Homo-oligomer: A and B are copies of this chain.
């Protein structure tokens, strides 16, 4: 059996997230259907992790095992020709047998886009979180410094997750003002709890509007209490940018 790794971009707007579920269209299902058509095998695609309904990806990673002799590079073009326009394979390559998109992952990078303007933007409605009140970005940057590092992030995990070990390391967390009222948050870490990036974003926004004082961030983390952190920012501003598979990346 050969092991094929895919790097995938998708617009999550139309989908009920990554993971296959009955009665709803998902990105995993669309990809498995396309690959099955090419290989004539029943394909099980292993993703680096789920993304929720409405969340986008510019570098989701997945792998599958196949007996097909299609050259690894050709899979990209063959799969793309069968996919809907809101999903594309950016790269396809053959990897070692023990590569596992989820268990081999060493970390991930996410981007979150805020549209900070009084009036909502029709063009950005599915690709940003519209925040109509003014944000103090300097305060948000200060708050970010308290989030970077190794902490128990239980306060930043949505209920419903069965994860036991809630300690994670955030390697970097930047907040930049971009042209045309966009605020871009980038966050890299060794792993993320359920909704963690969206709760961090919601908390940073509440710091930016003076609802949460900068100095409370460490206390919120230490509380391990979800109700102390800010709201969960909506899915459409979130992008899975990259999955890392080497410690050095």
Contact = CB atoms under 8 A, between A and B. Distances in A.
Interface of A: 9-11, 56, 58, 76, 80, 85-90, 119-123, 125, 127
B85 A10 contact: no
Contact of A120 (B56, B88, B123): B88
Copies of this chain, tallied across the complex = 2
A194 to B, nearest CB: 24
Contacts of A90: 119
A125 B90 CA distance: 14
Nearest to A58: B123
A111 to B, nearest CB: 11
A125 B9 CA distance: 12
17 contacts: A9-B122, A9-B123, A10-B122, A11-B122, A11-B123, A11-B125, A58-B123, A76-B119, A80-B120, A85-B120, A85-B122, A85-B125, A87-B122, A88-B119, A88-B120, A89-B119, A90-B119
Nearest to A180: B58
The interface centre, meaning the residue of A56, A86, A119, A127 with most chain B CB atoms within 10 A of its CB, is: A119
Contacts of A80: 119-120
A50 B56 CA distance: 32
A150 to B, nearest CB: 32
Contacts of A127: 123
